[in-house]
Amino acid sequence: MNPLWNAAELLYRGINRLRRALYRIGVLKAKRLPVPVVSIGNRAIGGAGKTPATIAIAHALQSHGLRVAVLTRGYGRKGQENGPVTTLDCERFGDEPVLIKSKNIDVIVGSNRYENGLRYQADVFLLDDGFQHLQLHRDCNIVIEAPARFYREGKSSLSDADIVLERKIRVVNGALFSGKRVYAFAALANNQQFFETLRSTGAEIVGTAGFPDHHLYTLADLRTIRNAARGADLIVTTEKDAVKIGPADDIMALQIEMEIGEEVIAKILEMLPVRPR
């Protein structure tokens, strides 16, 4: 491990440990919204599957008759929007908020998630990437645990979690790629994880391109990708990247879902001071 990265990780973890201690003893106080909040986050820096988990939990709560909205900061966006995601415009709202919105889930972006929670109505808010957002009280604290190179917090922080989930991803459309020669590209915190998931479908990956997390693709990027993919049967990317590109007949998205058991959803519902309609 790079010594500078190691030092930065230890510093980051130390700061977060101090913050948690200050909230535990009451020096710092979390603000409480008038409706329940479910936080979904992780200790690792990227790659845990928070967005698929958020989508899965939102759909499960919706199926129980609850009106759900996701509060998110909206990383990677160029705009300064503060409010509901109204169009599938990644530059305005961010790639992850747009992906969640595309799944028929209400999403509200903005750095002040408490103020946004006061302005908009819902039966329950999901706090996206919320494990370190201690300023906002949560009724249920969910942490997705997955192996990673770098961690924002040590294992002791899991004492603040109500539910700890393993990253269990199911590929929805894997049969489309089995036996195909595939060129793959992605802009995630952990691109290699995506390539390995795609390879697990039986695809033969003949080339890859990796970009920084939340990268907004230019026409030049797409031209380079298409040139590099000549000879491949398919060009494949993630759903998160596909929403940034828009409709493209020659680019397919690997569709994944987070597997979350009914017993987990039941536990979440038990912890919420609201009852399904």
Q: Are residues 80 and 11 in the same domain?
A: yes
Among the listed ranges 4-8, 191-195, 262-266, which one has the minimum average pLDDT value? 4-8
Report if residue 202 sits inside a domain: yes
Residue 141 — φ and ψ, nearest 5°?
-115, 110
Q: What are 261-272's pLDDT values in tens digits?
A: 999 999 999 999
Ramachandran region, residue 103 (left: φ > 0; alpha: ψ -120 to 50; beta: rest): alpha
Q: According to the model, what pLDDT value does residue 20 have? A: 85
pTM over 0.85: yes
The pLDDT of residue 4 is: 60
pLDDT at position 153 is 85
Same domain, 61 and 198: no
Clarify whether residues 121 and 225 are in a common domain.
Answer: no
Q: Model confidence over 17-32: pLDDT tens digits?
A: 888 888 888 888 999 9
- Residue environment code for 82-96, b if the CB has 16+ CB neighbours within 10 A, otherwise e: eebbeeebbebbbbb
CA torsion sign for 236, 59, 71, 84 is positive
End-to-end CA, the chain: 51
pLDDT at 7 over 80: no
Structural domain of 20: 3-168+260-271
Nearest to 260 by CA among 252, 251, 269, 272: 269
Q: From edge to edge, which strands make up the β-sheet containing 124-128?
A: 83-84, 106-109, 68-72, 124-128, 37-41, 140-145, 163-166
45, pLDDT greater than 90: no
**Mean pLDDT score, 237-248:** 95
Distance CA 164, CA 86 (A): 32
Distance CA 89, CA 116 (A): 20
Q: Say if 276 falls within a structural domain.
A: no
Comparing CA positions, the residue from 27, 259, 35 lying closest to residue 134 is 27
162 and 31 in a common domain: yes
Tell me the pLDDT band of 117, cut-offs 50, 70 and 90. Answer: very high
Residue 156 has pLDDT above 60, yes or no: yes
Quick one: average pLDDT of 87-94?
93
Are residues 134 and 111 part of one domain? yes
Kindly state whether residues 60 and 26 are assigned to the same domain. Answer: yes
What is the spatial distance between Cα 49 and Cα 26, in angstroms, rounded to a whole number? 31
Looking at the domain assignment, is residue 250 inside a domain?
yes
Q: Are residues 29 and 160 in the same domain?
A: yes
- Beta strands 106-109 and 83-84 are antiparallel
Is 102 within the bounds of a domain?
yes
- Alpha-carbon torsion (44, 46, 51, 53), positive or negative: negative
Judgement on whether residues 177 and 163 belong to the same structural domain of the protein: no
**pLDDT tens track for 54-68:** 999 999 999 999 999
Average pLDDT, the chain: 92
How high is the pLDDT of residue 23?
85
The verdict on 65 and 140 lying in the same domain is yes
Q: Which DSSP letter does residue 119 get?
A: H
Q: List strand residue ranges (DSSP E) for the chain, in order.
A: 37-41, 68-72, 83-84, 106-109, 124-128, 140-145, 163-166, 169-171, 181-186, 204-210, 234-238, 251-254, 256-258
Asked if residue 277 is part of any domain, the answer here is: no
The whole-number pLDDT of residue 234 equals 98
What per-residue string of b and e applies to 219-251 under the rule 16 or more CB within 10 Å gives b?
eebbeebeebbeebebbbbbbbbbbbbeeeeeb
In a domain, 67, yes or no: yes
Task: Indicate the residue type of 123.
Answer: D
Check whether residue 60 and residue 108 sit in a common domain: yes
Give the whole-angstrom CA distance, residue 192 versus residue 88.
26
215 and 199, same structural domain? yes
Q: CA nearest 215: which of 237, 186, 190? A: 186
The total of structural domains in the chain comes to 2
Residue 70 lies in a domain: yes
What average pLDDT does the segment 89-100 reach? 94
Q: Looking at the structure, do residues 121 and 14 belong to the same domain, yes or no?
A: yes
